[in-house]
Amino acid sequence: MPPKIKDICLIGAGGVGTIAAYILEKSQRARVTAVLRSNYALVKQHGFDIDSVDHGNVRNWRPYNVVSSIASATTNKQSYGFIVITTKALPDLTSSLISDLKPLITPQKTALALLQNGLAIEAPFAAAFPNTPILSGVSMIGSQLTSETTIFHQYQDVSKVGAYFHRVDDTLPKATQFDAARLFVEIYNAGLVDAKLKSGARCVLSKNIVGARWGKLLWNASFNTLCTLPRISVGDLLSGPGRNTLLEPTMREVAAIATAAGYGDAVSENIVQLMLHDSPLTSSFRPSMLVDLENGRPLELDVILGAALRVAKEKGVSTPVLSQVYELLNVVQWMLVQRAGKLS
């Protein structure tokens, strides 16, 4: 008997979200309703054009259903197995999103899957939906929206997904949460069968997803932020003088915070060295925070640096470089907000 098809609502069809939607549908175990905003009409008419290292050239692809708002995702009264959130992890956006999500959640059936950057992103969802399983996911994917309907995906999709375990009791047993994470990973990997053979793409079920978030923060808190300030590529950062004076020190400060918080295994010396040497000096990749800056969009500053620095303060860890990078990017964020206010 074939597995039952899961209805999935995906919110945030950007570079990461569109690839996730494509994979979930390619599994033939999911129907995705994608909530779009400014590009809704174009995608509804033309679909997405995807240029992917994992999936090749895909033209005029669209999910099973495309809607223009979260409210529209409830009109057919679907009972969603998963709500996948791939928006930017911005505090104001998260607050407004949470207020709209309740009609999409079916008790004892729906799980939230947060495929977003940063630390402690799960907390506001856990507070709002204490009886709902929450899955947390991190990915190293290098996928970006290059126009309203085109996706450029240049690095293999290597994702980790696990249950957040925000509460464990008779109402929400640990097994229920783990099973939700395992099912999501199974469906995702079913959509990666061809890509795994082609590029090694894979989705791993993590038993320590908070540790995995600290591991990704080694990259995000260093490459993402330090490419953004001077507006340079990953290759330029690795080739220049900042490699030794900024890049490695930021990684080591993140590792020190994570170790103090109890996640040292996720930021071991081997992992630090891998992060430092994994990208070629010729890499033209421009990280997501830099792309946001270049497009005048708010930066994911709080979840990438702010949350880590709050843990550092609590644990008494010195962070001279990270703190300075944070303050500089705070000025950049202020500038973006000021410009957005003048345009509105």
Q: Give, in degrees to the nearest 5, the angle at Cα 52 between 47 and 57.
A: 60
User: How does 44-64 read in b/e, with b if 16+ C-beta sit within 10 Å?
Assistant: eeebbbbbbbbbeebeebbbe
Q: Report H helices in the chain.
A: 15-26, 40-46, 91-101, 123-128, 174-190, 193-199, 209-219, 225-228, 234-239, 242, 248-260, 269-277, 288-294, 301, 307-315, 320-343
Angstrom distance (rounded) from CA 50 to CA 152: 6
Each residue's pLDDT tens digit in the chain (344 positions)?
677 899 999 999 999 999 999 999 999 999 999 999 889 999 999 999 999 999 999 999 999 999 999 999 987 777 999 999 999 999 999 999 999 999 999 999 999 999 999 999 999 999 999 999 999 999 989 999 999 999 999 999 999 999 999 999 999 999 999 999 999 999 999 999 999 999 999 999 999 999 999 999 999 999 999 999 999 999 999 999 999 999 999 999 999 999 999 999 999 999 999 999 999 999 999 999 999 999 999 999 999 999 999 999 999 999 999 999 999 999 999 999 998 876 65
Is the pTM for the entire model greater than 0.75?
A: yes
Are the C-beta atoms of residues 122 and 134 closer than 8 Å to each other? Answer: yes
Question: From the CA atom positions of the chain, what is the Rg in Å?
Answer: 20
44: DSSP letter? H
* SS3 state of residue 157: coil
Using an 8 Å Cβ cutoff, are 145 and 18 in contact?
yes
The residue among 89, 92, 95, 148 whose CA lies nearest residue 115 is 89
State the pLDDT at residue 340.
Answer: 83
Q: What is the DSSP string of 180-196?
A: HHHHHHHHHHHTTHHHH
Please tell me the distance from the alpha carbon of residue 95 to that of residue 283, in angstroms, as a whole number.
36
CA distance linking residue 284 with residue 152, whole number of Å: 13
Give the tokens for residue 46.
Answer: 């033309």
User: What's the CA gap between 88 and 105, in Å, rounded?
Assistant: 21
Instruction: List C-alpha distances in Å: 316 to 203, 251, 260, 309.
Output: 35, 17, 9, 10
Distance CA 166, CA 212 (A): 16
Residue type at 272? V
